[in-house]
Amino acid sequence: MNQSDLTIPRTLLEKVSNAICYSAFFAVVAFMLLKWNALPETVPLHFGLSGEADQYGSPATLLILPAVAVVVTILMEVLERYPQVHNYPSRLNEGNREAFYLNSRQMLNMAKNMTLIIFSIIILEILSVALEGSALFGVMLLPLIFLLIGIPIIHGLNKRRKIR
């Protein structure tokens, strides 16, 4: 079997995760646009380890976040469709190819969806400080981002380890 001949349909978890995370991201971007005229002349652009804003700039800079998120999401979505180009351990063979492809695609899917959630959280944090003067997550922002990145990767690699 040619490795590009293998087509694995998306799982229910992938479909539901996509629906939830895309919806959340677009809702946050819509909220940002609805609040655009209420934004002050300067908004927080960077938060230090303490969770406090330590750099400010123009609200127009906020538009970069959704743009980057969309570009990254599109690239990851394309990569999801071609699991045969992902890296695999040397134990990959015809008998376990489908399991490896599914595992790799699911890890990439979760990473993509966590990327959307992370960008959503960052946008909400910036809007909260700019509009309300207080942070939603504060000092917990960075640990939350690390968890959202790390948990799907660790989970996926642990599942991959069990593929024989």
**What mean pLDDT value characterizes the chain?**
94
Q: Residue range 54-80: average pLDDT? A: 97
Question: Which domain range does residue 70 map to?
Answer: 11-161
φ/ψ (deg, to 5) at 141: -60, -55
Q: Is residue 30 part of a domain?
A: yes
| 89 SS3 class | coil
Predicted pLDDT of residue 130: 96
Number of domains present in the structure of the chain: 1
φ/ψ (deg, to 5) at 75: -60, -45
Query: Is the pLDDT at 99 greater than 70, yes or no?
Result: yes
Give CA separation, 85 vs 88, 100, 124, in Å. 9, 12, 35
Q: Is residue 83 part of a domain?
A: yes
Tell me the pLDDT tens digit for each residue of 110-138.
Answer: 999 999 999 999 999 999 999 999 999 99
Cα atoms found within 13 Å of the Cα of residue 134, Cβ hemisphere only: 1
Q: Are 47 and 139 in contact (CB under 8 A)?
A: no
Tell me the pLDDT tens digit for each residue of 19-28.
Answer: 999 999 999 9
